[in-house]
A and B are shown apart, each in its own frame.
Chain A
C-alpha cells in the first residue's frame, strides 16, 4: 500500500498553501471581526482559477482527482473557514449539477463564470421544517406549460443572499417523499426570486448565510437539472460521499490551523520559568491532537481515494466526516485551554477556530443521522 501523496499532489498542495498563506491568512481575523463578505479577496483568489478544479481542463479546470480536491478543501479552510465555505460552495455543491446536467447555454452562462468566481453559486436544501429530513421538503415545482414554477423558502443557504444562481431542491410530487425530489436552476433576476433574512452566525463569519424566497418563480424546462424526473436523490447520492469527505477535509483544515497556533504558543509562552511546551501535560495534549489529526487525514484521504477508484464508500465517507469533525471539536477546545485565559480573548485566533468548528456538526450530515446510517449499514437488515 503506498500511502504517499504523489509528487504532483504534494506540489499542488504546496502552491495552494502558499496562496492561502499570502492572500487569505492575513485577512482571516478581519473577515471574522467585520463579518462582511471579502469581495476583493474573493475576486483576487478566484481569478487564479482553483474554484474550477473539479471540472475538465477544456472548461478551465484541472480534472482534479478527489484526493487532490481534499487537499484544496483542507488548505483553504485552514486559511479562513467563512471564506472557505463560499469558495467550496462554488467549487462543489453550487456548480456540480450544472456541470452534470446543464445545457451548453447554462454552462456558459453560469458554470464557467462561477469557476472563475465571476458569479457566485449556491445549493439549497434546508428549509424551516426540514434539515436532515429531505423527504419532507416543502418547496414545490409545478409544471406550467413548458416551464416550472417554484414556490417555497429555503434557509441556512451559504452564499444565498449574494448568489447569482442557485441549485434548488424542490418536490414535483408533494407528499411522495424522495420520489418527488428534483434539482432546479434559478438565476438572480428571475421575478419572485429574492434573498430573505440574513442569519448572524456565531462562527464562519464573512460568508453570507440566509434565506432565499421563491414566490412563483418561473424557470424554463432546461433549468430542470436532471435527465429524468424524480431522480434528485439518486443524483445527490453521486456526490454525497464527496460532500462528506469534503467536510472531513474542512475539519482537518480547522484542526491544523488551531493545532499550529497551539504548538507555537506552547513553544514560546513561559510559565514558572520555562516554556509550557516543556511540561508533560501540555506535551500530552500535543501528542494526542497530532495523533488524531493524523488519523483524520488518513480516513478522509482513504474515502477520497475510494471515490477515485470507483469503489463504494458510503461507510468510509460517513466515518471520515464524523471522526474528523469530532477530532476537530476536541482540538479547538484543547488549544483554547493551552492558551489559558488568552483562549478567551478575541485578540487571539483560538476562539475563532472554536466558534468556526461548530458548523461541522450539521454541514454534510448531523452525526445523529450518520451514526444511525452507519449502524443500520453494519448491523444489516434484521
Chain B
C-alpha cells in the first residue's frame, strides 16, 4: 500500500461526470497532497475526452474500466476487489449516492474492512491518522471516528460536503477490464431518467421547498417556477407528500432525502423536527411562514413572516425583472 495513495470512484450520468464525483475528487486531491501521495480516478464505461476534462485536472492517473455499459454493483465489487488486492490504496473515496452505496458496503465485507458513510468532514492528523465526521440521528449530532491501522479506508462522501476545485494535471489513462459476470446479479429491465434540466435534490445547490402552508397542490406551480429561474430543485415536507400534493422523491426530512444546498428556502413549512433533520446542514436557510411562532424560524438565517402566496409571486416577479 503506497502511503497516501487515494483512489476516487467517479460516477457518470448521461455520459457526463457528475458534480458529486468532482467534489470527492477535489477532497481526494487535498488529501493526496497532504500525504504526499497520488490521486487515482476510477471510472466505468467508455471514457471520452470531455470526461477527462471534467476531472478538472485533479487526478494523477485514471483507470477506465471497460466492459458492457457501466456495470452493475456486483461487477463493480468484483473488479474493485481485484484491483485493490493487487495494489491496495491508502483510501478509497466515493460520492455517497444510492448507486455507490449498493457496492461499497459489499466491498467492505469482501475486504473485511469497515467503511464510513455520509462523511461530511475530514481531517488528517499527524502520524497519518485520519479523522472523519458524519451526522447521526438525522443530523442532530455529529460523530467523529478515527481510522486505525489495517486495510484501505473506505469512505462514502455526502454530496456537497466538500467544495469543488480545479488543478492542472493531465492524467495518464489506463484500461482495465470490468468483470464479465458477477455472482449476484440483478437485471435492469427499464431505466427512466428524469427530464433534461432536472436537478437532483441531494446535489442541488439551491432547494426551494413547500409545506402545508402553501395551501394546496396548485400553489406548487409557483415553486416549480421559482426553482426553474434559480436553477434549483423542488422539495416538499412530509405532510404534503402524504397528502399526495407532491411525489415522495421530493420529500425532505427524516424519512425522505437529506439535502445540503447552499440555499434552502422553506415556504409554508412549520419546521417539525423530522423535516429539520433533512435540511439543517444547508448553508443558508430562508423561511417564509405566516405564523411568527413557527419552529422553522429557529433553524433559519433569514425569515419573512407573511403569507407564502403573497411572497412567492413577489419573489418570482422581482427575479424576472432583474434578468
Which A positions have Cβ atoms within 8 angstroms of B? 265, 268-270
Contacts and interface: CB of A to CB of B under 8 A. Distances in A.
Contacts of B295: 268
A372 B172 CA distance: 97
B271 to A, nearest CB: 9
A269 B294 CA distance: 9
A270 B295 CA distance: 11
Contacts, number: 6
Contacts of A270: 293
Interface in B27-47: none
B184 interface: no
Contacts of B293: 265, 268-270
Interface of B: 293, 295, 298
A78 B292 CA distance: 27
Contacts of A265: 293
A268 B298 CA distance: 9
Contacts of B298: 268
A269 B293 CA distance: 6
A15 B298 CA distance: 32
6 contacts: A265-B293, A268-B293, A268-B295, A268-B298, A269-B293, A270-B293
A18 to B, nearest CB: 15
A269 B295 CA distance: 9
Contacts of A269: 293
A269 to B, nearest CB: 6
Nearest to A342: B293
Contacts of A268: 293, 295, 298
A265 B291 CA distance: 13
A331 to B, nearest CB: 21
A270 B298 CA distance: 11
Nearest to A347: B291
A269 B291 CA distance: 11
Nearest to B239: A26
Closest 5 CB pairs of A and B: A269-B293, A268-B293, A268-B295, A268-B298, A270-B293
A281 B293 CA distance: 20
Nearest to B298: A268
A343 to B, nearest CB: 13
Nearest to B292: A270
B221 to A, nearest CB: 26
B94 to A, nearest CB: 38
B4 to A, nearest CB: 49
A268 B297 CA distance: 10
A265 B295 CA distance: 10
A268 B295 CA distance: 7
Nearest to A265: B293
A265 B293 CA distance: 9
A237 to B, nearest CB: 48
A149 B315 CA distance: 74
A334 to B, nearest CB: 19
A268 B293 CA distance: 7
Nearest to B294: A268
A335 to B, nearest CB: 15
A45 B69 CA distance: 52
A135 B272 CA distance: 54
A66 B298 CA distance: 44
A352 to B, nearest CB: 18
A282 to B, nearest CB: 15
A270 B305 CA distance: 14
B303 to A, nearest CB: 12
Nearest to A270: B293
A348 to B, nearest CB: 10
A29 to B, nearest CB: 14
B20 to A, nearest CB: 36
A226 B251 CA distance: 59
A270 B293 CA distance: 8
A269 B298 CA distance: 11
A253 B295 CA distance: 25
Nearest to A264: B295
B239 to A, nearest CB: 9
> Quick one: which of A265, A268, A269 has the most chain B CB within 10 A?
A268
A268 B272 CA distance: 12
